[in-house]
Amino acid sequence: MAAASPTASSAVTPAARLRDSHGRVIHDLRVSITDRCNYRCVYCRTGEIGAQYPELGIDEYLRLIGLFVSLGIEKVRLTGGEPLLRRGLLELLRELAKMRTVAGEPLDLALTTNGHLLDGLAAPLKAAGLNRVTVSMDAVDAETFERITRVPRSFQQVVAGIRAARQAGLTPLKVNCVLLRGFNDNEIEGFARFAREEGVVVRFIEFMPLEEDRLWSPEIVVPLKEIVERVSRVMPLRPLPPNEASETARRYTFEDGVGEIGIIAPVTQAFCGACSRVRLTSDGKIRTCLFSQVEHDLYGRIRAGESDAEIRDYIVRTVHGKEARHHIGEPGFLKPSRSMVHIGG
Ligand code: SAM
């Protein structure tokens, strides 16, 4: 296979590191490796199979990711769709684990999954070089959970996946829950207990207008402030300092220091000023923001036979034009052309 060179970084000077025109250094790449998903979460999908975008070959993802890495990317998060559905995932990880950053370090390799297939895959993923996983889980009550995913017996499956991931050492293990008012916000307190009992970091996410249907409204978003108040009523919280400047979550621990809660508040406390991310879709388009109105066809450049140097130059120029921020909730806000499952969350 034509894997990207593990030493691709050697040709690049630090001055070539990816920066946007707002002074942000971009070191985090999210790569969707499929937009197929085995769940039909009601706040994300319509319930119909719908259109799907093409997937690149594993060697094509490797070439593109290698070029990003040679420009300063240090973290790669694989996502989808559901990335565990993608054939060739372990091979992709094994090759990514051989790459080195501009500073000569191994990449920080993470993956976001719904956890449905994680029970059987956690140990092989770890052995292939994955460092950690984030599991999406929107309820700690089995019935509510399965009403959301629209897949019977999915709850037990995901809990088994979470436990297998912890056992395999895919840690720190984060469990992400998107909150929707009147729908699963009665799970907040249960999740606080779950974080302590299962030894995972539970992160609540404010619902963003990225769904296939038209469900989003400001009223349905459960804001950070309310989440903190509600958890604190049952188990007092104390803030923790951020691990790094570009961290998306506000971190809290409980009074006794056991367990951690994070809150990702893109709607009420946007963190665009510290954004360090760009995305690559499963069909090889760069998205410089979740809410971009335009996509940049990187794969088209491969198909046209461009050289690595030409593609690198295109990446640098594209990232330079990254949007300053999103405009959720402002007059004239436009939803992006793709929903979350097709962009890669
Ligand atoms: N299938 C994988 C999973 O379930 O984690 C990866 C893809 S999924 C689209 C990534 C994350 O996006 C999930 O945690 C999901 O809950 C979240 N998500 C989907 N739609 C969202 C929305 N409108 N607002 C906020 N988060 C959303």
Q: Ligand 1 pocket: which of 77, 135, 136 to mutate (most atoms <8 Å of CB)?
A: 136
Q: Is residue 86 within 8 Å of residue 52, measured between CB atoms?
A: no
Provide the 10 A C-beta neighbour count for residue 271: 17
**Ligand 1 center from residue 316 Cα (angstroms):** 28
Determine, yes or no, domain membership for 8.
no
Summary mean pLDDT of the chain: 92
340: Cβ below 6 Å to ligand 1? yes
Determine, yes or no, domain membership for 1.
no
**Ligand 1 center from residue 14 Cα (angstroms):** 34
Answer yes or no: is pLDDT of 6 > 50.
no
Confidence grade of residue 5 (pLDDT, cut at 50, 70, 90): very low
Beta strands 285-287; 296-297: pairing state? antiparallel
Answer yes or no: is pLDDT of 51 > 80.
no
Residue 17 identity: R
User: Shortest CA distance to 340 belongs to which of 37, 84, 115?
Assistant: 37
pLDDT digits (tens, 9 = 90+) for 193-239: 999 999 999 999 999 999 988 889 999 999 999 999 999 998 999 99
Number of domains in the chain: 1
Determine, yes or no, domain membership for 313.
yes
Q: What Rg do the C-alpha atoms of the chain give, in angstroms? A: 19
Residue 223 identity: P
Determine, yes or no, domain membership for 4.
no
Q: Is residue 116 within 8 Å of residue 84, measured between CB atoms?
A: yes
Q: How far apart are CA 97 and CA 277, in angstroms?
A: 20
CATH number at residue 101: 3.20.20.70
Instruction: Tell me which residue range forms the domain holding 316.
Output: 14-343
Confidence grade of residue 16 (pLDDT, cut at 50, 70, 90): low
pLDDT digits (tens, 9 = 90+) for 90-142: 999 999 999 999 999 999 999 999 999 999 999 999 999 999 999 999 999 99
Determine, yes or no, domain membership for 233.
yes
Q: Report the nearest-CA residue for atom 2 of ligand 1.
A: 113
Geometric angle at alpha carbon 293, from 291 and 299, rounded to 5°: 100
Three-state secondary structure call for residue 12: coil
pLDDT digits (tens, 9 = 90+) for 18-35: 999 999 999 999 999 999
Q: How far apart are CA 1 and CA 22, in angstroms?
A: 38
82: Cβ below 6 Å to ligand 1? yes
pTM attached to this predicted model: 0.94
Mean pLDDT of 36-50: 88
Q: Give the helix/strand (H/E) hosting 33.
A: none
Determine, yes or no, domain membership for 89.
yes
